[in-house]
Amino acid sequence: MSNESGSPRLTNCTFAANWAMSGGGISNGPGSPKLTKCKFVGNNSSWHGGGIYNADSISVMSCIFIGNTSQCGGGMYNEYYIPSSVLINCIFVGNSVKAGGGGIFNGLSDLILMNCTFVGNSAEDRGGGFYIPPLPIPSVSSSSTAYDGYSILKNCIFWDNLPEQIVNLGSGISVEYSNIQGGWRGFGNINEDPCFVDKANGDYHLKSQAGRWDPNSQSWGKDDVTSPCIDAGNPGCPVGDEPESNGNRRNMGAYGGTAEASKSPPYWRSIADMTNDWIVDSSDLKVFVDYWLRTGECIPGDFDRNQFVDSNDFAIFGGQWRQIGPGPGIAYDIGGCIPVDFPSSEVVEVEPTRFTVTVEGQYILFEDMMQANCCPEELDVQMTVEDDLITIYEIERFFTRVPCPCICDYPITATLGPFEPGVYILEVYQDAGFIGTTTVTIGPGG
């Protein structure tokens, strides 16, 4: 597709196995198209932009670039000195070039990347993920200086790109609240395994003990680990469509701010942890002060998201002071109904030690058989931790439905933690009733 002097809106389009000198999938300029939920797969260009060649302002939302190839800019080539372009919630995977910019080549222009994921892109020369070329040598006869552009990367993930994640040889660049393999200077950046669900099969959702979206089954599943990218995005950005529980903070990566964002375990990461080092301390205070009285969207210290960093935000910060994370969380599964028949003349006694616990490292494995109505509207398991007291609540809920005249046993398995070494008291309640208590030792002798 070639766009000249137009502003088309394209939604749910697929550009696959196309070829052009520049812009194998789309060549744009002049023009300002808006692309939403489009796919660029296996396109090729001889020169610039295997997926997209862009020479003007372009908006790209929730698009996927896979296996596109070119000389420069495998996924996208952004031409020199053009108006600002924006990419939000996009995925670049397996794009490759012979020169620079396997994922994106940005030619000294203004470009914003928000919540994008770059994985497995490659360049034979430089910048497997993202590449900014050197500044041109100024002409002796020229008395003016060209604007060199500025790249802004927020809430992004760059992982397994070769030979480097990001290369900047020219214009200004700001990288904040992003997970960059090998590290990158900037507020809130981390360098930790993002814990993708299934990278080999193209699932770049983040693993979570609290729940993450499975696009194959169209349902929520749970994992035995939680990605450090959850609740690690810019704390001043709205959480958007992220489902509860979302920790009141946006995730990094392509699904951050969307309805498919992975859920947050309890006590995960504080909104005031502005340095993403798992503790709210003087380092975070220094960052907060840098943004004091700033206005605008997605200002990191704007915890109440009113586009102004003021005393209200400082009050929120103070309330989180010295909070340490990740705190202990709970990942659980409740099995199906096992019918229970009780003779009417017998009194049913519940053993106070009906549950079992075992320790594996810093985690507690909990099993129980919850006895509840056979048609509850919701069964839930929650946990609180206060000093050395761990309390588990097994909850049966009815909102509009009338309970049925039958009882079931529901097998519960849960993983609690991680916990610091020590001796803990674990108490279990079902609704308002006390089930039992035990002592758990974490660490040597546990």
Q: What is the pLDDT of residue 143?
A: 45
Question: What span, in angstroms and rounded, lies between the C-alpha atoms of 28 and 113?
Answer: 18
Would you give the DSSP letter of residue 29?
Answer: -
444 pLDDT higher than 90: no
Give the residue-averaged pLDDT of 132-136: 90
Residue 251 falls inside a structural domain: no
For the entire predicted model, the pTM comes to: 0.76
Give the residue-averaged pLDDT of 218-227: 93
Residue 63 falls inside a structural domain: yes
Give the residue-averaged pLDDT of 282-304: 97
Q: What is the pLDDT of residue 139?
A: 53
Residue 249 falls inside a structural domain: no
Q: Determine which of 97-106, 275-284, 311-320, 348-357 has the lowest per-residue pLDDT on average.
A: 348-357
223 pLDDT higher than 60: yes
144 pLDDT higher than 50: no
352 pLDDT higher than 60: no
Closest CA to 67 of 92, 90, 49, 45: 92
Q: What is the pLDDT of residue 446?
A: 43
286 pLDDT higher than 50: yes
Give the residue-averaged pLDDT of 169-176: 93
Which is higher by pLDDT, 275 or 418? 275
181 pLDDT higher than 80: yes
Range of the domain at 399: 329-442
Tell me, letter by letter, the H, E, C secondary structure of 195-262.
Answer: CEEEHHHCEEEECCCCCEEECCCCEEECCCCCCCCCCCCCCCCCCCCCCCCCCCCCCCCCCCCCCCCC
Residue 75 falls inside a structural domain: yes
Which is higher by pLDDT, 138 or 165? 165
Residue 306 falls inside a structural domain: no
Residue 427 falls inside a structural domain: yes
Give the residue-averaged pLDDT of 16-45: 98
Give the residue-averaged pLDDT of 85-89: 98
Residue 377 falls inside a structural domain: yes
Q: Name the band, by pLDDT with cuts 50, 70 and 90, for residue 384.
A: confident
Residue 131 falls inside a structural domain: yes
Q: What is the pLDDT of residue 347?
A: 44
Give the residue-averaged pLDDT of 148-160: 95
Cβ neighbours of residue 21 closer than 8 Å, sequence gap 6 or more: 45, 46, 47
Give the residue-averaged pLDDT of 412-423: 88
State which of 180, 199, 232 marks the end of a domain.
180
Q: How many domains does the chain have?
A: 2
